[in-house]
Chain A
Amino acid sequence: MSPQLETVAWPASYGEHAQPRMGFFTDTSVCIGCKACEVACKEWNQIPMSMQGFTGKSYDNTIDLGADTWRHVAFIEQKAPARVVEKLPTDVTDGASLVDCAARAQAVEGGVQTYQESDGFRWLMASDVCKHCTHAACLDACPTGALFRTEYGTVVVQEDVCNGCGYCVPACPFGVLDQREGDGRVWKCTLCYDRLKDDKEPACAQACPTNSIQFGELSELHERAEHRLARLQQAGQDKAQLYLADGDDGIGGAGAFFLLLDEPEVYGLPPDPVDTRRDLGEIWAAAGAAAVALGIGLAAAVFGGQR
């Protein structure tokens, strides 16, 4: 069932030292937005504080992933469209949830995807992290080899090699990487490479009280996720979806994949991320052709008229 997610460097280049590919299944349907993951990550990795002040973006005051936030919890306050609310029965007295009511009124398709009653208000929370892509644009783009693929199939920056060229920053289709101010180098989730080596769970997963962040062998996580998706779908969460769980998406599937209750963009995730290396052949070809054209142009200019 689980897709074969082999990366360029893993497991082949590790030979017998290759470990099972490790990753995260983040089940946002049970995230309570406690931010324990964010804090645990910062504590363990000794990341500097990144004070942004009061943002007014619901309860999110750290805003996005970056050099100083390797786990980030998103908060989305959502209200069902009025036309859906109108369709909902208001005289439910048997304890049915909104989803039940919506199902009865055949209003589910209209956008009520919530556990909540009456006006269909819901508050989504989701913990985001580096995806440890199967085809990691950041890693391919890195000119220094600071970014590398570990024996667990994860993607890690070596802080002593990174020269801060910043190429990985716009290369990542998820906006994960960023440069640390006053330091110049880029930083991101290491999937707790140091802890993995000690046979320990990553700090964020360990801190998560509801197991919204599940850490483990990717193949096992995929299996779990499929069951979970099926259950939520059955329970009427028809917008529930697995994100980055398949090898045939734009990044070849991720080491950290998600169960979302709405479209990815609602959570600040691109609906169709693409590993730019996929088009690198085309890019080199164009650059080569342009170089040749430039040569021809120069020659034409020099030889094509008076001296």
Chain B
Amino acid sequence: MGSNMAEQHPVGFQWVIEAKERGAKVIHVDPRFTRTSAMADRHVPIRPGTDIAFLGGIVNYIFEHDAWFREYVEHYTNGPVIINRDLQDTEDASGFFSGWNPAHSAYGISTWSYDKAGGEATAGKSEQQADVSGEQAHGAHGMKLEGGQPPELDATMQDKGCVVQLVKRHFARYTPEVVAEICGCSSQDFLAVAAALCENSGRERTSSIVYAVGWTQHTTGVQNVRAASIIQLLLGNIGRPGGGILALRGHANIQGSTDIPTLYNILPGYIPMPHPQSHPSLDKFVELNGPDTGAWGNLRPYIVSLLKAWWGDAATEDKDFCFHYLPRINGDHSHYAMMLGALDGGVRGMFCVGQNPTVGSANAKLIRLALAKLDWLVVRDFQPVESATFWKDSPEHESGEVRAEDIQTEVFFLPAAAHTEKDGNFTNTQRLLQWHHKACEPPGECRSELHWIYHLGKAIRKKLAGSEDPKDRPILDLMWEYPVQGPHEEPDAEHVLMEISGRKPDGSFLSSYDELEEDGSTTCGSWIHCGIYKDGVNQSARKKPHTEQNWVAHEWGWAWPKDTRLIYNRASADPEGNPWSERKRYVWWDAEEGKWTSVGDSPDFPPDKAPDYRPDKNAKKMQAIAGDKPFILHPDGRGWIYSPTGLVDGPLPTHYEPQETPVRNPLYAQQQNPTRQVFHRPENPYHPVNGEPGSDVFPYVLTTYRLTEHHTAGGMSRTVPYLAELQPEFFCEVSPQLAAERGLEHGGWATIVTARQAVEARVMVTERIKPLEVEGRTMHLVGTPYHWGGVGIVTGDSANELLPIVLDNNVHISEYKVATCDIRPGRRPRGRARLDLLEQYRQRAGVKD
């Protein structure tokens, strides 16, 4: 669901095909019939933005049919945990959970906690602030629990206050009929999916759910994934072979860039970025961010080893290991926040490295206007992409709104080396790192990122050399020496990997994060990657073919943490440590040897912790995890069906309508996710919805997506002849019915209009797009791939001209997957006439901003 795997992950899809050949049933739930649907046993079209209703319906079905895996839920999840009796559900409070503070447009979450876990159940702050993401707001990794135990449990799961009963009640209204009404699918289709999933789960069988940005790019993105987690935990499909929820990631190595992040709000290994007020010292930071129990109980050794890796000898215990050197975040500095900041003149310069935001980001025009406010912009890419040429050839030039000479931004273009021209690692969806060796030297002036950042760092240090200014210390004290090779002094990437993997005091390599010390004697650049250079060997460069080892293929690459291929795999055995079934044997307790064994994976559990181990009340860290609690990253070792902390928009998923939608939320008075981030400003107008005057001006649902033939903002595919010719023009996909309604001609042109912009696209009339019946009305979908822009062998209007910026406040992801629009036959007007058309629409719709 929410993934077009055959098109966007074709290489990974071979395993789906193989599974299918071995008898697996493949179901695709997607608004459009895609190449994935073509290979599926069943395709169910739904209205974009309604997955929570669909998944909630499945949760309801599971309870109605008593299909849940009781033993798994009881022992491995927080199903039996009693929740704060003051919690008010959305079902009782017309779409809000308890704790809503309209003044801040945010929740106070104290009532969401485990019962009796204390008023401040969570670390961090109990009220999220609009400008910080969930992890910062609520403590990243869960609350403090004495001895790793939820204070109150009901093993029978009958108590009305326990999670199972809460969840059951919460989703009771999501009946097949309601699902059909909201999603626009037939209740038969829905029931068939629910049945297939339940039938294929249990001791003998497992099912997995695969998603990608069809789920995440919504104002309810994170909750979509949460809904899947609830299902998989209820059905016992996590930590077991063939189970799981697979997040198919984006760019090759987008996973790597979250693990060792290019994100603004976390440090390597998901350690939160410190906050200026709350985290004055290392001690306070650890206290507020680390639960005492579970694997995160060791936050201190993790961060101390990281600080040692970065600042080496300067990081002494008496100086708090240089904790104060770390930059602090004081708000939302995510992509869109930064762009809006730039638009308001608050950002002077920007590095744009491997990103093409004038095509790839929502509201492309706003992005261009923002870039034009910068003093300087550095673009590192293979060729001058739209984001590097916006100052001379944007649509605003065509319409006469701007002139090149009026744009003050100084743009520096630095040519980049491609992945084939440098050594490094890719991390894929299942956390598997695979080393790639440089195949050839980068041409001309092209240099790797590593080269660029390393030499930039050296240049800066040279300039600062001798400075007495304390603010320069963090840079001057950095460990910034790597061996270089070749004529261009390319730093050796393996040495960076060694630093990430970590060393013992004697300089030898660590083999797992269990060996990290909090006294500063170990160094480690990313605790989850500790051991990737175990024994002085680049473990991620192992390439033993699968034909020469068993199906776990443990000697191919390296997976974090501790080379674990299947995370939480303790759950593949029953509470006593025996496999749930022979068919699904994976990790089990070998009583004679007194250790966990496996068919070939590393057990994701302390190797000699017996299933019957029970922590005492004062147990801390991993000691507090009982022998039958597989989810060791949680303070209670349980999988969270109910999420007491970590999310800003509620402990349970709830169906909200997208920002722009043709329908009224049939379940709640609250139309949209109340915590979503909206930016009301003239450059970012939203459409009226929900029967407001003017909402009929944009009657159709617009969705954007990818094609196999192109890559994201197109800089890597529109410029390549063999790819460009495969999908040469920007097009839209519409149903025959919509084509008839609007007079669109197959192969002809259409103009798609929103309050942001009007773009033109070739028309593909296809049965693959189906009108859906939603709340008694026919809902038409306009689908567009978003790969086009003004530069390259093939060019075209960008779909992102059409979309507004509106974000899920958990992670600040934009709602790319749904907006409303109008569509009309013919090409769009040129020049000023385009603006006039836009103005007409805005007036008709009463768009004020």
A adjacent to B, CB under 8 Å: yes
Q: Which segment, of A89-97, A218-226, A249-257, A298-306, faces chain B?
A: A89-97
Known: A95-B192, A123-B38. A77 touches B766 (CB 8 A): yes
Q: Is B727 an interface residue (CB 8 A)?
A: yes
Known: A34-B10, A56-B746. A51 touches B728 (CB 8 A): yes
| Bound CA span A3–B509, Å | 60
Q: Is A118 an interface residue (CB 8 A)?
A: yes
Q: What's the nearest-Cβ distance from chain A to residue B8, in Å?
A: 10
Known: A51-B725, A54-B762, A56-B764. A32 touches B6 (CB 8 A): yes
Q: Which residues of A contact B725 (CB under 8 A)?
A: 49-52, 61-62
Chain A interface category by residue count:
35 or more
Q: Which residues of A contact B192 (CB under 8 A)?
A: 92-96, 117
Q: Which residues of A contact B729 (CB under 8 A)?
A: 53-54
Q: Is B270 an interface residue (CB 8 A)?
A: no
The residue from B25, B39, B727, B767 contacting A95, defined by CB atoms under 8 A apart: B25
| Bound CA span A94–B192, Å | 5
Q: Is B673 an interface residue (CB 8 A)?
A: no
The residue from A50, A56, A97 contacting B747, defined by CB atoms under 8 A apart: A56
Q: Which residues of A contact B731 (CB under 8 A)?
A: 54
Q: Is B723 an interface residue (CB 8 A)?
A: yes
Q: Which residues of B contact A211 (CB under 8 A)?
A: 14
Interface of A is mostly: loop
Q: Is A59 an interface residue (CB 8 A)?
A: yes
Find out whether the CB atom of A125 lies under 8 angstroms from the CB atom of B726: no
Find out whether the CB atom of B724 lies under 8 angstroms from the CB atom of A36: no
Find out whether the CB atom of B17 lies under 8 angstroms from the CB atom of A210: yes
Find out whether the CB atom of B722 lies under 8 angstroms from the CB atom of A52: no
Write the B711-754 contact mask toward A (1 if CB under 8 angstroms, else 0): 00000000001111111110100000000000000110000000
Q: Which of A1-60 contact B (CB under 8 A)?
A: 30, 32-36, 38-39, 42-43, 49-56, 58-59
Q: Which segment, of B40-48, B157-165, B446-454, faces chain A?
A: B40-48
Find out whether the CB atom of B188 lies under 8 angstroms from the CB atom of A93: yes
Find out whether the CB atom of B728 lies under 8 angstroms from the CB atom of A52: yes
Known: A58-B766, A93-B192. A32 touches B13 (CB 8 A): yes
| Bound CA span A42–B725, Å | 12
Find out whether the CB atom of A125 lies under 8 angstroms from the CB atom of B11: no
Q: What's the nearest-Cβ distance from chain B to residue A121, in Å?
A: 6
Q: Which residues of B contact A158 (CB under 8 A)?
A: none
| Bound CA span A31–B106, Å | 48
- Interface size of B by CB at 8 A reads 52
Q: Which residues of B contact A122 (CB under 8 A)?
A: 38
The residue from A32, A95, A124 contacting B193, defined by CB atoms under 8 A apart: A95
Write the A251-279 contact mask toward B (1 if CB under 8 angstroms, else 0): 00000000000000000000000000000
Q: Is B430 an interface residue (CB 8 A)?
A: no
Q: Which residues of A contact B764 (CB under 8 A)?
A: 56
The residue from B7, B11, B191, B728 contacting A54, defined by CB atoms under 8 A apart: B728
Find out whether the CB atom of B708 lies under 8 angstroms from the CB atom of A115: no
Q: Which residue of B is nearest A208, CB measured?
A: B14
Find out whether the CB atom of A32 lies under 8 angstroms from the CB atom of B39: yes
Find out whether the CB atom of B747 lies under 8 angstroms from the CB atom of A121: no
| Bound CA span A213–B335, Å | 42
Q: Is B35 an interface residue (CB 8 A)?
A: yes
Q: What's the nearest-Cβ distance from chain B to residue A218, in Å?
A: 22
| Bound CA span A272–B723, Å | 34
Q: Is B514 an interface residue (CB 8 A)?
A: no
Q: Which residues of B contact A115 (CB under 8 A)?
A: 39-42
Q: Is B199 an interface residue (CB 8 A)?
A: yes
The residue from A39, A55, A117 contacting B43, defined by CB atoms under 8 A apart: A117
Q: Is B210 an interface residue (CB 8 A)?
A: no
Q: Which residue of A is nearest B745, CB measured?
A: A56
Residue among B10, B731, B762, B767 facing the most chain A CB atoms (10 A cut-off): B10
Known: A62-B726, A97-B41. A125 touches B14 (CB 8 A): no
Q: Which residues of A contact B794 (CB under 8 A)?
A: 51
Q: Is B281 an interface residue (CB 8 A)?
A: no
The residue from A53, A91, A116, A121 contacting B188, defined by CB atoms under 8 A apart: A91
Write the B471-493 contact mask toward A (1 if CB under 8 angstroms, else 0): 00000000000000000000000
Q: Which residues of A contact B762 (CB under 8 A)?
A: 54, 56
Q: Is B189 an interface residue (CB 8 A)?
A: yes
Q: Which residues of B contact A92 (CB under 8 A)?
A: 188, 192
Q: Which residues of A contact B188 (CB under 8 A)?
A: 90-93
Q: Is B679 an interface residue (CB 8 A)?
A: no
Q: Is B186 an interface residue (CB 8 A)?
A: yes
Q: What's the nearest-Cβ distance from chain A to residue B186, in Å?
A: 7
The residue from B14, B724, B767 contacting A210, defined by CB atoms under 8 A apart: B14
| Bound CA span A74–B468, Å | 68
Q: Which residues of B contact A118 (CB under 8 A)?
A: 186, 189
Q: Which of B135-190 contact A (CB under 8 A)?
A: 186, 188-189
Find out whether the CB atom of B25 lies under 8 angstroms from the CB atom of A36: no
Q: What's the nearest-Cβ distance from chain A to residue B827, in Å?
A: 13
Find out whether the CB atom of A97 lies under 8 angstroms from the CB atom of B25: yes
Find out whether the CB atom of B11 lies under 8 angstroms from the CB atom of A209: yes
The residue from A49, A96, A121 contacting B721, defined by CB atoms under 8 A apart: A49
Find out whether the CB atom of A77 lies under 8 angstroms from the CB atom of B13: no
Q: Is A79 an interface residue (CB 8 A)?
A: yes
Q: Which residues of A contact B44 (CB under 8 A)?
A: 117
Residue among B42, B189, B723, B746 facing the most chain A CB atoms (10 A cut-off): B42
Q: What's the nearest-Cβ distance from chain A to residue B454, in Å?
A: 32
Q: Is B427 an interface residue (CB 8 A)?
A: no
| Bound CA span A32–B14, Å | 9
Find out whether the CB atom of A59 lies under 8 angstroms from the CB atom of B727: yes
| Bound CA span A16–B262, Å | 60
Find out whether the CB atom of B33 lies under 8 angstroms from the CB atom of A51: no
Q: Which residues of B contact A59 (CB under 8 A)?
A: 35, 707, 709, 727
| Bound CA span A123–B10, Å | 16
Q: Is B768 an interface residue (CB 8 A)?
A: yes
Q: What's the nearest-Cβ distance from chain B to residue A74, in Å?
A: 13
Q: Is B845 an interface residue (CB 8 A)?
A: no
Q: Is B196 an interface residue (CB 8 A)?
A: yes
Q: Which residues of A contact B191 (CB under 8 A)?
A: 93
Find out whether the CB atom of A77 lies under 8 angstroms from the CB atom of B767: yes
Find out whether the CB atom of A34 lies under 8 angstroms from the CB atom of B189: no
The residue from A38, A43, A79, A95 contacting B726, defined by CB atoms under 8 A apart: A38
Find out whether the CB atom of B726 lies under 8 angstroms from the CB atom of A61: yes
| Bound CA span A176–B213, Å | 40
Residue among A32, A42, A43, A59 facing the most chain B CB atoms (10 A cut-off): A32
| Bound CA span A192–B204, Å | 46
The residue from B36, B186, B708 contacting A90, defined by CB atoms under 8 A apart: B186
Q: Which of A116-136 contact B (CB under 8 A)?
A: 116-118, 121-125
Write the B278-304 contact mask toward A (1 if CB under 8 angstroms, else 0): 000000000000000000000000000
Find out whether the CB atom of A35 lies under 8 angstroms from the CB atom of B766: no
Q: Is B37 an interface residue (CB 8 A)?
A: yes
Q: What's the nearest-Cβ distance from chain B to residue A53, in Å?
A: 5
The residue from B7, B196, B721, B728 contacting A53, defined by CB atoms under 8 A apart: B728
Q: Is B212 an interface residue (CB 8 A)?
A: no
Known: A54-B747, A62-B725, A62-B726. A117 touches B189 (CB 8 A): yes
Q: Is B402 an interface residue (CB 8 A)?
A: no
Q: Which residue of B is nearest A94, CB measured?
A: B195
| Bound CA span A193–B505, Å | 57
Find out whether the CB atom of A32 lies under 8 angstroms from the CB atom of B35: yes
Q: What's the nearest-Cβ distance from chain B to residue A32, in Å?
A: 4
Pairs of residues from A and B, 8 with the lowest C-beta to C-beta distance, nearest first: A95-B196, A49-B721, A56-B747, A123-B38, A54-B729, A34-B10, A93-B191, A32-B6
Taking A54-B728, A93-B192 as given, write out 13 further A-B residue pairs in contact, using a Cβ cutoff of 8 Å, ordered by the A residue number: A32-B6, A35-B709, A36-B10, A51-B794, A52-B725, A55-B747, A59-B35, A59-B727, A90-B188, A93-B191, A95-B42, A117-B189, A210-B14
Could you list 11 A-B pairs, sorted by A, with CB under 8 Å?
A32-B10, A32-B39, A49-B793, A51-B794, A54-B731, A93-B192, A95-B42, A95-B196, A116-B42, A123-B37, A209-B13
State the A residues within 8 Å of B (CB).
Answer: 30, 32-36, 38-39, 42-43, 49-56, 58-59, 61-62, 77, 79, 90-98, 115-118, 121-125, 209-211
